[in-house]
Every structure is written in structure tokens, then in C-alpha cells.
Amino acid sequence: MTRRPPLSPASPLVTAAVAALATVATLAALAVTPTQAQAAPAVRCPQQYVYLHDMAGTATEMADFADTVGTPEQCSFVADYGRTRLTDAVVDAGGAPVAGFAAIDDSAAQVADLMRAEQRTGAEGWTVVAHGAGALVAQRVVQTQTVPKPITGIVAIGPMWRGTNIGFLGDTEDISRRLGTYDAVLRLEKPLIDPWCEGCRELVRGSDLLVSLRRAGLPSHGVRYTNVISPIDGLVSDPLSAALPGMDNRILDPARTRHVTHHFALLSDPSVANDVRHAVGGSTDR
């Protein structure tokens, strides 16, 4: 076997290799430097938008709704929050990744963490677009959490400010309170229900959460509220009870829309998207 002599710095092969490398480096610099020098400026978001799904809602359906509304994509995000054992059970059974079952205050803390992570420099505040129980979560962020920039607007679709009396649950709890059995029943319910859906009982009219929410101030100072309400909501047993003073209450008119919209179909109603679009400023940059 003939051993090849080591290459010397002066050998023609080394010289050619060095020249080739220098040429490649020069071309690479010419290709990269202009791109770096002309990098797109950071997106400016005077206002940011967060979309909150309902209890038993999904982030996917809210993302679709955000696309329909048209807030700037770079300034908007959808919060997936409130997962519990019930979420896992539904997914394991082949169902959709529904969420929002955790306690409202726990969900508010989780959403506040996501807002801090998504906060953009230069943004002046947040507008929350929320379906159903998501508006309660947004209100508890206002009342119990600290975020770098405040929530200045809440757009509530099918709001539940007064809770629900579906299945006469509110009436039943009122009777239980008058009989003095409410606390005893609650002690039995909590270990059975809360690990799966602690937020469920908080939606019932007159719940401790709803009482606390009103006592802390509803509406809150500095927050602009828009309620989009279906008079035949179905889940909110008295939908018009959510039309609170001091809020912009927009009641859907079945005669105008030519159809009736129940609570879980609100996100697919074009008139709802139109009301929300106007409430957030009418941007269609998405």
C-alpha cells in the first residue's frame, strides 16, 4: 500500500480547497446578511385578544370562531383550559377534547398564566371573547388575578352572569338552603363531583362562586362588556337575566335571523359573529 504524503499548506489541493470554501462563505454571507438586515419588524398589537371556550367546549371550535370574527392572528390566541378527569374520560372514549370543567377560579389562574406568556410589548390591554362559562372565567381573571396589561373588554356569548336553573337545580338548591341541608349535601357532593367537574355546580344559580363574583363587582370598573344573548338559549334558563345594567346587551332577534339559536349553536350563527366583530372593532386582518 502506498501511503499518501500529508498535505502541506502550500499544496495545490489545499489552495484550491481554501479558495472553494472562501467562495461558499462569501455566497452564504451575501444570501444571509440581507435577510437578517431586512428582518420583518415585530408585530405591533395595540390590543390583544384571547378566546375562551365554554364549559364542555373545545379550543378548536373557538379557533374556528376567531377566524370568523377576524381579529388579527398575530395578536390573538385561544386558551385551552380547565381539563379534569372528565376531559380524559371523554377523550379516552373517542370523544372531542372538551374542557372547562375545573373550578372557575382555578381556570382563571390558568388563563392568567397563559395571558402572561402571550403578552406582547406595546399592547395596551386585552379583549376577551368568551362563550358561556368562559365569561365567568374572564371576570374572575379581572377580580382575582394580576396580568401585565388589564382586560379592558369582555364579549360574552350566551353569558351566564346569573347562572342556570336548568333541571330546576337552582330551585332545588334554594329549597335546600331554606331547609338548612345545603351544607350537608355539599359535603357529600364535593368528593364525588369535584374531581370530574368542580365548575359544574358553580354554574347553578345562587352558587357561592356567582355570589362572590357579584360581591367583588360586576360589572368591573374599566371593563367594557358586550353580551350577545339568545332569548331561547336553553342552557341559561332565563337568558334575559344576563342582560345586566351597565353592559351593552345585544339580544338576538329570531324574526331577523329567521331561525332560533340555542346555547351550543351560538358560535355557528352568522349574526353572533357579526355582533362580536363589531364589539371588538371590526378587524378582518386574519
Contact between residue 242 and residue 162 where contact means Cβ atoms under 8 Å apart: yes
**Residue 235, SS3?**
coil
What pLDDT, on the 0 to 100 scale, is given for residue 168? 44
Mind listing the pLDDT tens digit for each residue in 205-260?
A: 889 999 999 999 999 999 999 999 999 898 887 889 999 999 999 999 876 656 66
Answer for the pair 14, 7: CB distance below 8 angstroms, yes or no.
yes
Instruction: Assess whether the previous peptide bond of 245 is cis (omega < 30° from 0).
Output: no
**How does residue 272 score in pLDDT terms, banded at 50, 70 and 90?**
very high
Angle subtended at Cα 50 by Cα 244 and Cα 123, rounded to the nearest 5 degrees: 105
Tens-digit pLDDT profile for residues 87-110: 888 889 999 999 999 999 999 999
Q: What is the pLDDT of residue 237?
A: 74
φ, ψ (nearest 5 deg) of residue 106? -65, -40
Specify the 3-state DSSP secondary structure of 222. coil
Which residue do the cell numbers 368542580 mark?
A: 198
**pLDDT per residue as tens digits for the range 122-161:** 999 999 999 999 999 999 999 999 999 999 999 999 999 9
Is residue 155 helix, strand or coil?
A: strand
What confidence category does residue 27 fall into, taking pLDDT thresholds of 50, 70 and 90?
very low
CATH architecture type of domain 47-280:
3-Layer(aba) Sandwich (3.40)
Overall size of the chain counted in residues: 286
**47 pLDDT exceeds 50?**
yes
Question: What is the pLDDT at residue 94?
Answer: 92
CB 123 within 8 A of CB 48: yes
Name the nearest CA neighbour of 45 among 135, 127, 155.
127
Boundaries of every domain in the chain: 47-280
- pLDDT-derived band at 76 (thresholds 50, 70, 90) equals very high
